[in-house]
């Protein structure tokens, strides 16, 4: 009987189990590392795609804020003028 044909002993099986366990642990460590790298790359890609949209949105928001401030100034001016007209009409009612 050649050594390859000899039946496996419990010690042989225990040794095999230990080697397989080490390989599985090594494989798991490598997979976790690959997952972390992949998630990092995906995050970078997502942020890279989102950044131009965010910048454009900020520019749009600033433009709207400037327009709103201008409208509020004009509205305040119109309100002031209307108050003056009402005051004048109350003090000097038109002749009917």
Among residues 86, 84, 82, the alpha carbon closest in space to that of 74 is found at 82
Confidence of residue 64 (pLDDT cuts 50, 70, 90): very high
Q: Which long-range contacts (CB under 8 A, 24 or more apart) does 46-51 make?
A: none
Res 1: pLDDT: 66
Confidence of residue 10 (pLDDT cuts 50, 70, 90): very high
Please determine, for residue 96, whether its predicted confidence score (pLDDT) is greater than 70: no
Res 90: pLDDT: 85
Confidence of residue 32 (pLDDT cuts 50, 70, 90): very high
Res 53: pLDDT: 86
Average pLDDT over residues 52-65: 93
């Amino acid at each position: 009987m050649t050594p390859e044909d000899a039946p496996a002993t419990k010690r042989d099986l225990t040794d095999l189990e230990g080697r397989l366990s080490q390989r599985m642990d090594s494989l798991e460590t490598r997979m976790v590392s690959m997952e972390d790298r992949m998630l990092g790359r995906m995050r970078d890609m997502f942020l890279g795609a989102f950044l131009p949209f965010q910048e454009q949105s900020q520019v749009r928001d600033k433009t709207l804020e400037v327009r709103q401030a201008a409208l509020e100034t004009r509205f305040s001016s119109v309100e002031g003028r209307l108050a003056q007209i009402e005051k004048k009409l109350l003090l000097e009612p038109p002749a009917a």
